[in-house]
Amino acid sequence: MKESWSSLDTFEPNFRPLVVIELAKNTKEETREWLTRRIADKKANGGAQLLVKPLITENGDQNIYLVGASHFRLLLGAETVGLVKECTDNSMRTFTYSSRKTFKDFADDNHSFLTMAESQYIIKHELENLRAKDEKIIPGYPQAKLYPGKSIVRRLLTNGILVQIFPLHDQEELKKLRHTWYGRVKIGYQPLDEIRCYFGETIALYFGFLEYFTFALIPMAVIGIPYYVFAWEDYDKYVMFATFNLLWSTVILEVWKRLCAVMTYRWGTLLMKRQFEEPRPGFHGVLGVNPVTGREEPVYSSIRRQLRIYLVSLPFVCLCLYFSLYVMMIYFDLEQWALDYHKENESNFSSLMLFVPSIIYAIVIEIMNRIYRYAAEFLTSWENHRLESSYQNHLILKVLVFNFLNCFASLFYIAFVLFDMKLLRQSLATLLITSQILNQFAEAFLPYWLQKRHKKRMKKKMYSQKTDTDLSLAEQVSLEKEMGTYFGTFDDYLELFLQFGYVSLFSCVYPLAAVFAVLNNITEIYSDALKMCRVYKRPFAEPTANIGVWQLAFETMSVISVVTNCILIGMSPQVNALFPDSKMDLILTVAFVEHMLLAMKFVMAFVIPDKPRDIQIKLARLEFESLEALKQQ
Amino acid sequence: MKESWSSLDTFEPNFRPLVVIELAKNTKEETREWLTRRIADKKANGGAQLLVKPLITENGDQNIYLVGASHFRLLLGAETVGLVKECTDNSMRTFTYSSRKTFKDFADDNHSFLTMAESQYIIKHELENLRAKDEKIIPGYPQAKLYPGKSIVRRLLTNGILVQIFPLHDQEELKKLRHTWYGRVKIGYQPLDEIRCYFGETIALYFGFLEYFTFALIPMAVIGIPYYVFAWEDYDKYVMFATFNLLWSTVILEVWKRLCAVMTYRWGTLLMKRQFEEPRPGFHGVLGVNPVTGREEPVYSSIRRQLRIYLVSLPFVCLCLYFSLYVMMIYFDLEQWALDYHKENESNFSSLMLFVPSIIYAIVIEIMNRIYRYAAEFLTSWENHRLESSYQNHLILKVLVFNFLNCFASLFYIAFVLFDMKLLRQSLATLLITSQILNQFAEAFLPYWLQKRHKKRMKKKMYSQKTDTDLSLAEQVSLEKEMGTYFGTFDDYLELFLQFGYVSLFSCVYPLAAVFAVLNNITEIYSDALKMCRVYKRPFAEPTANIGVWQLAFETMSVISVVTNCILIGMSPQVNALFPDSKMDLILTVAFVEHMLLAMKFVMAFVIPDKPRDIQIKLARLEFESLEALKQQ
């Protein structure tokens, strides 16, 4: 291996730019030189051994660099990041350079063995793992301290010298993808494998989940329609619908795990070994020795972090929740007041006043959501998590709880305090439909329109009216670097999560919710696809084996929905009429049924295996082979 | 490595017998010869390369063989089974022969580097992995078919040619262990590390759990005593006790996981890689190709097994449960009838008749339990599980559900149908105390007494009155081979599980239960220790990292106990008095509190990490090192 590393030259005739590095405008010459030298330097000298070229734009600025790598370098990188690829015998194996001949579609001159997204992921990984050796500071910036082993790119980012790193689009590939994805009207599945090749596993998995979830909602929607059409109000029909709904939601979440395993096995991420996680850029602490790696790095005591979480963040979140409830109560008071006012002096003005509380509440909620989001981000980064994953989990948890309360508190209040089923149905419909319309508008069409306008202006400035594919590289880069950054699938999953809440929490009151959800999701697929392809910068591919914490969130929601639906059914007048003498018997029956349903859910979750049998066998075979290999050694 | 194997000679001057093989009395000469040759044969020739010596008893029978191994052979075996040992730098690592010098206490002449239990485990593993090569049958037994790769020992066992394989006791070690364990009256912990060295991890873990559980019950017992002494009947005190109990039981189960991780890390089993599991001896099927290993072995379709489980076993278990409930109802009818009879004709005979139903019920329950146990074993082996572990899990589940119902159904009936708290407390006390006394008697003292009588008779027969330690090897073997076989920790855990049920399910009615449980467990430790050391044959050590399915069983019990305790508190007259007007409010409050408690349990189980931080760091370090090693490769 050693020999092959040294034989690898940084000069390659057909340089293909993959990743763009944008430095701050006023970056010192000395720093530029040092950075490009470190990126291009040989592995043996502690460099990344990548190809790097400055991009000269028309205004002469030299703050943008294009990074690429030779095919051979990428293959070695694929081994480093532990990519899993399909072999000629159809099994999935971790790629190593020495066993490269056993992999499907491998040929020394086949440069498409690694997809562009994979190549870009490898380059990102190599750049992030470019570490300081004996440098004490970043040349030219004495205040930007370095220590041996510190990631150079991360220090440059935190010091603002590096503005951004992003992967380039491939206009041709993107055009093809756009065409198969949403370019034509068709009934059929999304091209998930193509999406995965272009955008990576995390995004493909989101679209896979969105599609699966939409299909899974169709039975609920189909069963829900007659309730609306025939205006069914019989309790037994509602009970049947709710029971079906509860068991169905358990089944779909379990089946998703299996489908997800099938997909990620095919993509190789199911088998990919978790890499050792480096500290996140924002992590700070006293320089010490990491007990796991033995390396020098900032260390922050876990107890202090726990104290921050439990003594500051937790009370703060509780306070916010309380405040949110308090605002809701004021809203209901205002509503009542407006109603009373309208009754007393019936006039045009008073009927207009009826809408005022709702509008104020909607605005206040939106403001609270935004402030809270900032607060949550601030608090979570103040908690000083060492790993990006644990930072993400804590942030998601905080935002999830608050959003859950904000969205559903008023519905809970209407249902279980006011006992007003008519109002509940009405509010549910209003909330669901308006939130869906607003979301789609704010999420995709508005940015798309802004983007389009911006692009036109840019093109005018460049005095050219070429189509996308004919753009020169410099033009493409300067267009893409101005595009918005896609901050991950969080908001998209959150939207789906809240939708799942609308559909399942009160399903027995408003069976039509599933129909709206299905309709929304079909357009959501298109608007999200548009967003990914047209509005945002291309995001780096992120290998992942499942939807992570969202699986847990959806499962929790489905447990809560058992409780709410049982209470709703117990409150319905038809069920009440069945127990004319004793409310006690009614409540006991409802409680009993609820416990049985919960027990059934847990048994079902336990009995349905998380991976299909053939995947289990394939995984067992790999494990067996590695055990045998160990014995042979 | 190849060279070292061949340099290994089966002749060793100081042969130390470790394991005994007992063949059937009438085994053919030809078979004996073939078997001993295969055991002693070189690894390269497909043998086990162990030392084997016939034991000539005084009556001249030659059906007992002693198996041992050279120190070098045992070290190679330790590598094969993947033993994890402590290194000189205090980290735990998988033992390999080539890295032997880095391990603590290793020296080429230190024969106690491997404990005797470990050596016996290695020999058992090697014997069980002695596989047929080109033999089509067992020589001398044309009906006992073999195929390449079939375990010879397992075929011999299923054909009755091999009677038993068991490890020998070490009288000296045993005496020392007995002394520190239960030989002197002392307050203190059990010598778990010594127990582990002598009996292996599974048994040490059981005793560790028993001890931990006893300590964990002490707070409950201490709080429970004043309730009895001062005859407290206030609802608030009961509510407090029950709440404490519920949260406490969650905490102790979570903390156990952490303690268990600490122990098994020290013992090396936490890090031990799961070996590939071979089919269990009773597994049968059409000869096919195992999709995982690619080896020829019996194959049985998973769908047919599922059908057997869901279409036969499940209905059968349900029928048994129904039957058990039916018998219970007859018992309550009989009880009522006896009470009426006694009221009508008060006489000595009639007051005697009062006891008849209980006695009949107790006998019937015992009979049912036994019959059911046989049926469960028959059904589970008919289900034809490929792996021993999956066989065990299905058996445990079946037996657990039935025992749970048998023990607690009458209590549930008294509590939630008859609403008779006095009777509940009385029945609970009777059941708990009698079952504990009976258990300890039947489990340890009776077999011990029988064993002692048998030993005396044996010794008389040998015309010698020596003490245990002076016995000759032949005498020791002939004594030990007649001892009972310890069938694993199942029954011991089951007893603890039912005890946990008595303590937690109705804790708010009978706070004294914990006191009896603590008292019982203290003697239980001694009687179980006596049972292990004196009554049974030494069992093979079995490496294990946790208490497996029992953790789940105990957790499920603690969830059920939240429900029962909430109902009991809701039913108490004091709580009822708080809601004089509306039973509905009462039930709603109880249901709300119950849901909150359940939610709290789940959150606690989620928040408390399963492994202490230092163990997490140690595991992370090992993972990091192996990743680094992979990169270096």
Question: What are the distances in angstroms from CA B31 to CA B22, B23, B67, B87, B213?
Answer: 13, 10, 17, 44, 49
Structure tokens at B28: 């053919």
Whats the size of chain A, residue-wise? Answer: 633
Helices B421-440 & B388-416 angle (0-180, nearest 10) = 140
Question: Residue A286, CB half-sphere, CA atoms under 13 Å: how many?
Answer: 5
Q: Does B302 touch chain A (CB under 8 A)?
A: yes
Structure tokens at A106: 């491998």
Kindly list the residues from chain B whose CB atom is less than 8 angstroms away from the CB atom of residue A294.
621
The residue ranking higher by pLDDT, B443 or B380, is B380
Structure tokens at B286: 């059409």
Q: How close, in Å, is residue A261 to chain B by CA atoms? A: 18
- Amino acid B240: pLDDT: 80
> Rounded to the nearest 5°, which phi and psi values hold at B252?
-65, -35
Whats the size of chain B, residue-wise? Answer: 633
Mean pLDDT by 10 residues, chain A (633 residues): 40 76 89 91 87 78 87 89 88 87 84 89 91 87 84 88 91 88 77 92 95 93 86 74 85 94 92 78 83 84 92 95 93 88 84 80 84 93 89 91 90 88 84 82 75 73 52 81 86 92 85 89 87 89 90 93 88 81 83 91 90 90 81 64
Structure tokens at A42: 């040989």
Collapsing DSSP to helix, strand or coil, A301 comes out as: coil
Question: Residue A203, CB half-sphere, CA atoms under 13 Å: how many?
Answer: 23
Q: How close, in Å, is residue B299 to chain A by CA atoms? A: 14
Kindly list the residues from chain A whose CB atom is less than 8 angstroms away from the CB atom of residue B595.
563
pLDDT at residue B6 tops 50: no
Question: What are the distances in angstroms from CA B580 to CA A411, B416, B419, B572, B584?
Answer: 31, 21, 19, 13, 10
Other Cβ atoms less than 10 A from the Cβ of B632: the count is 7
- Amino acid A12: pLDDT: 52
Contact assessment for residue B116 and residue B18, using Cβ atoms and an 8 Å cutoff? yes
> Rounded to the nearest 5°, which phi and psi values hold at A186?
-155, 155
The whole-angstrom separation of Cα B416 and Cα B351 is: 28
pLDDT at residue B471 tops 70: no
- Amino acid B235: pLDDT: 67
DSSP string, B168-196: PP-HHHHHHHHIIIIIS---S---HHHHH
Q: Which of B587, B590, B596 to mutate to test the interface with A (most CBs of A within 10 A)?
A: B587
Q: State ipTM.
A: 0.84
> Which residue matches tokens 């290194």?
B87
Other Cβ atoms less than 10 A from the Cβ of A559: the count is 19
- Amino acid A470: pLDDT: 54
pLDDT at residue B119 tops 60: yes
Kindly list the residues from chain B whose CB atom is less than 8 angstroms away from the CB atom of residue A292.
617, 620-621, 624
Q: Does A231 touch chain B (CB under 8 A)?
A: no
- Amino acid A4: pLDDT: 40
pLDDT (average), residues B67-95: 89
Span B51-62, pLDDT tens digits: 998 887 666 677
Q: Which residue, among B549, B539, B492, B532, has the nearest Cα to B191 in the 3D structure?
A: B532
Restricting to A residues 125-154, those with a Cβ less than 8 Å away from any Cβ of B are none
- Amino acid A206: pLDDT: 95
The whole-angstrom separation of Cα A548 and Cα A539 is: 19
Of the candidate ranges B101-105, B502-506, B535-539, B578-582, the one whose mean pLDDT is the lowest? B578-582
The whole-angstrom separation of Cα A576 and Cα B584 is: 13
* Percent of chain B residues past pLDDT 90, beyond the cut: 31
Q: Which of B276, B387, B596, B628 to mutate to test the interface with A (most CBs of A within 10 A)?
A: B276
- Amino acid A632: pLDDT: 67
pLDDT (average), residues B332-357: 84
Cite the DSSP H helix spans in A462-547.
Answer: 473-480, 490-505, 513-530
Kindly list the residues from chain B whose CB atom is less than 8 angstroms away from the CB atom of residue A607.
none
Span B502-514, pLDDT tens digits: 888 887 788 888 9
* N-term to C-term CA, chain B: 20
- Amino acid B311: pLDDT: 95
Which residue among A291, A613, A620 places its CB closest to the CB of B302? A613
Which residue among A80, A617, A627 places its CB closest to the CB of B291? A617
B545-549 contact pairs (CB < 8 A, 24+): B545/B201, B545/B260, B545/B264, B545/B269, B545/B270, B545/B272, B546/B205, B546/B257, B546/B260, B546/B261, B546/B264, B547/B205, B547/B206, B547/B209, B547/B260, B547/B493, B549/B392, B549/B393, B549/B396, B549/B397
pLDDT (average), residues B306-313: 94
The whole-angstrom separation of Cα A118 and Cα A428 is: 43
DSSP string, B465-488: ---GGG--HHHHHHHHTTSBP---
* Inter-chain touch B292–A613, beta carbons under 8 Å: no
Q: Which residue, among A228, A237, A233, A190, has the nearest Cα to A514 in the 3D structure?
A: A228
The whole-angstrom separation of Cα A580 and Cα A543 is: 59
- Amino acid B462: pLDDT: 60
The whole-angstrom separation of Cα A203 and Cα A211 is: 12
Other Cβ atoms less than 10 A from the Cβ of A421: the count is 17
Question: What are the distances in angstroms from CA A329 to CA A322, A410, A502, A564?
Answer: 11, 9, 21, 21
* Inter-chain touch B292–A621, beta carbons under 8 Å: yes
Other Cβ atoms less than 10 A from the Cβ of B263: the count is 22
Query: What is the band of B576 on the pLDDT scale with cuts at 50, 70, 90?
Result: confident
Cα-based angle A422, A425, A430 (whole degrees, multiple of 5): 125
Kindly list the residues from chain B whose CB atom is less than 8 angstroms away from the CB atom of residue A80.
631
Query: What is the band of B10 on the pLDDT scale with cuts at 50, 70, 90?
Result: very low
Q: What number of helices (H) and strands (E) belong to chain A?
A: 23, 10
Q: How close, in Å, is residue A65 to chain B by CA atoms? A: 29
* Inter-chain touch B583–A588, beta carbons under 8 Å: no
Q: Does A591 touch chain B (CB under 8 A)?
A: yes
Strand-pairing partners, residue A138, are A141
* Percent of chain B residues past pLDDT 70, beyond the cut: 94
The most confident of A507-511, B220-224, B226-230, by mean pLDDT: B220-224
3-class SS shares of chain B: helix, strand, coil, % to 5: 65, 5, 30
DSSP string, B199-234: H-HHHHHHHHHHHHHHHHHHHHHHHHHHHHHTT---
- Amino acid B68: pLDDT: 92
- Amino acid A107: pLDDT: 83
Which amino acid, one-letter code, is at A618? K
- Amino acid A465: pLDDT: 46
Instruction: Write down the pTM of the prediction.
Output: 0.88
- Amino acid B459: pLDDT: 66
Q: Which residue, among A100, A152, A102, has the nearest Cα to A130 in the 3D structure?
A: A152
HEC letters along B501-538: HHHHHCCCCCCCHHHHHHHHHHHHHHHHHHHHHHHECC
The whole-angstrom separation of Cα B514 and Cα B505 is: 11
Structure tokens at A305: 């972090």
